[in-house]
Structures are given as C-alpha cells and as structure tokens.
Chain A
C-alpha cells in the first residue's frame, strides 16, 4: 500500500485532519491534547497516592480525575495510530538519546511543556487547531506567547548546534 511506502504530503495530511477536526468539534469539541494529558497525570497520581490526592485542591476542585474524560483517548489513539503506521511502513524501532545534553534538554523541555499547559489551560494543538480557528481571544494571546517562546528556544537550540 502506497501510504506505507511513501512520505505523505503534510499539507494533504493536515487538510484531512482539519476536516475530521470539524466533525469532532460538532460531536465533542475541537482537537486538544493538553487536557487529556492533565487527566492522565491525575489518574496516575491517584493510582500511586490513593485518596491522599484529594488533599491537593487542584485535583479535587479544578481537575477531578475521571477515566471517561474523552480527551485522554485522543492521545491514546495518536500513539496507537503512529504505532500502526510505523509498523506497517517498517519504521518502528527503539531509539534512545545518546548524549547527556539531549537528556537534559528533553527533561527541561518536558517540564516546561507540562507547566506551560497547566498555566495557560491550553497546549499548542488547542492554540492553533482549536482556539484560534474559533476566533477565541485566548488563541491570539497563545499564538503570541508560543511564537515568543519558540524564538527564545530557537536561540538556545542554535547555540547548542553551533557548539
């Protein structure tokens, strides 16, 4: 099957995703990832902490853990779809960062993404594929923030590349 032999044009891929996202918008809401990740964090914390998690107001007031939160299943679907794509195109393989600097960058980057999502209530997907197409004021604030953050990150990335 050609889909698994050639790299798909990203414009075509994103156009299909955009049409599907409009259907999702009608049924449950626009594509988002950060909310599902937050709920997963809550569920994992509840698994390890049990009822002690109720003593943290964020998880009892703002985001009570709920396994039937639909946004979780977008992320699980993405990992599954990517796994299927990688296996059928023979691109699946275990890869690991080799250098300490890579581990450090990924660790700091991951932490900043987690903190940023919760501070803003949105992630990059909601910013570009949810809030802004809905013409939400938050979309324009979020786009300004992510462009500024990416620019600063790019300076660090460039410095790192130049060694």
Chain B
C-alpha cells in the first residue's frame, strides 16, 4: 500500500470515528471516571463491547498471520506513562479522542488541551534527548532488559508460537473475561435501578465537558450524591 493510500484509509476511518463519537457522545474519560465516581456505566459498557469485538477479530487474524500488530518493547515506562495520562485526562476532562471530537464541535478548551498535549510531548522530547529512556524503537530487542526497566515484547502471536495453541483460543478466553465484567455491570445496574439512558447521557456528557458554557455542576453533583447514597454504610 502506498503512503498516500495509507493516509487516505486512516482519514476515512478517522472521519467515521469522529462522526460516530460526536453523535453518540462517547467519552473514554467517562468510561473509567464515571464508573469509579458516579457508578454509571453508559460509556464503560460501550468500551467493553468494542474490546470484545476487537479481541476476537485481532486474534483471529493473528492466528493466520494476517494483520499488523503493534511491535515495540514495553516496560515500567508503559505503566508510569499511562498513570500520568490517566491523571491528565481526568483533569483535562478529555482524552485523545474527545479532545479532537470536541475541537470539531468548536470547543476552545479542547483545542487548548491539544495545544498543551503537543507542548508536553515536545518537553518530553527534550528530556529524552538527554537520558535516551525509554529506548527508541530502533534499539528495542524484544527481550527483557531489566537494567533498562524493559520487559520485552509479547502478544497473541508470541503466545501462539511459544505454546502451539492458536491465538484465537487466548482471544476467546480474554473475551470471556471482558464479557464477565460486562455482565457484572448489567447485574449491578439491574440491582441498583439504573439511571435512565437519556439522563445518564446528560450526566456523563456534562461531566465530560469540563468546558461547557452551562455549568456542569448541578447534574454532576446530583449524580455524585446519588452514587454516595448507594454506598454501603
């Protein structure tokens, strides 16, 4: 595939994603934060369903050697980096998807968040240029390197080659675990008289939209009070 065709495929995919996320008000921050804070799971369920479909699809193609899985070593930096990211996305009220989507809706706060994401990346590039950690992709070996706090590379393909068991089997097991979490959420929602869908959408959208013109606090604080009231004493 030529670079132009790759870019065009990516643009078509991105456009569809932008449209669907804008119309569904899906928010990745809400998927995690609201499950922890408000005990509402509208976005969490969507994220789990997507992960189940992708796990089955990716591992099915990995089994026959098709697809282009990500190839790089992981290490302590993976955990620390996503810890910082998780903290940052809650403070900013948006993740990598919602910053672009909200920017497309005319949200100046989202554009500001994007600008500072770029600045954060540039600052990191300066620090990396002194300590060269974590290792650049070109110097990764795929094997554990404890001195560099790197654990190497492992995915469904390496599992298949080391055990002889098709990757799809591991994918099916992971899907079952994700489905178990999904069912537990449904059970909890049924037990706790779930927040009606339009109301949940409104709470999560306003909580996610830290930069809305109308203050988000009343809806969010109402949900917070409800979540706290449902906690065991």
A-to-B contact residues, CB < 8 Å: 3-4, 7-34, 37-38, 40-42, 44-45, 56-59, 61-63, 68, 70-86, 89, 91-98, 102-103, 105-138, 141-154, 156-158, 161
A24 lies within 8 A of B10 (CB): yes
* Known pairs A28-B68, A136-B154, A141-B78; A158 contacts B83 (CB<8 A): no
B165 on interface, CB distance cutoff 8 Å? no
Chosen A-B contacts, 16 in total, with CB atoms closer than 8 Å, are A14-B46, A27-B68, A56-B125, A58-B129, A63-B125, A70-B7, A77-B12, A78-B104, A81-B21, A96-B213, A102-B109, A115-B121, A116-B120, A150-B29, A150-B33, A161-B224
CB within 8 Å of A: which of B100-130?
100-109, 112-126, 128-129
Q: Which residues from chain A contact B59 at a C-beta distance below 8 Å?
A: 133-135
A97 lies within 8 A of B120 (CB): no
Q: Which residue in A14, A75, A98, A133 is a CB contact (below 8 Å) of B49?
A: A14
A135 lies within 8 A of B174 (CB): yes
B137 on interface, CB distance cutoff 8 Å? yes
Q: Mark B57-72, 1 if CB is under 8 A from A, else 0.
A: 1110110001111101
Q: Which residues from chain A contact B94 at a C-beta distance below 8 Å?
A: 109
Q: Which residues from chain B contact A143 at a C-beta distance below 8 Å?
A: 82
Cα distance A66–B140 when bound, in Å? 21
Q: Which residues from chain A contact B6 at a C-beta distance below 8 Å?
A: 27-28, 68, 70
Number of chain B residues close to chain A: CB under 8 A: 129
3 cross-chain pairs, A with B, having the tightest CB-CB distances, nearest first: A77-B14, A114-B120, A149-B86
Q: Which residues from chain B contact A114 at a C-beta distance below 8 Å?
A: 88, 116-124
B36 lies within 8 A of A151 (CB): yes
For chains A and B in complex, what number of residue pairs have CB atoms within 8 angstroms?
535
Cα distance A83–B111 when bound, in Å? 13
Q: Which residues from chain B contact A107 at a C-beta distance below 8 Å?
A: 112, 116
Chain A interface mostly: helix
Shortest C-beta distance, A131 to chain B (Å), equals: 6
Shortest C-beta distance, B16 to chain A (Å), equals: 6
B20 lies within 8 A of A16 (CB): yes
* Known pairs A135-B174, A161-B217; A120 contacts B80 (CB<8 A): yes
Cα distance A147–B218 when bound, in Å? 26
- Looking at B22, B66, B69, B159, the one whose CB has the most chain A CB atoms below 10 A away is B22
Q: Which residues from chain A contact B79 at a C-beta distance below 8 Å?
A: 120, 141-142, 144-145
Shortest C-beta distance, B226 to chain A (Å), equals: 14
Cα distance A70–B43 when bound, in Å? 28
* Known pairs A13-B46, A37-B117, A158-B224; A119 contacts B84 (CB<8 A): yes
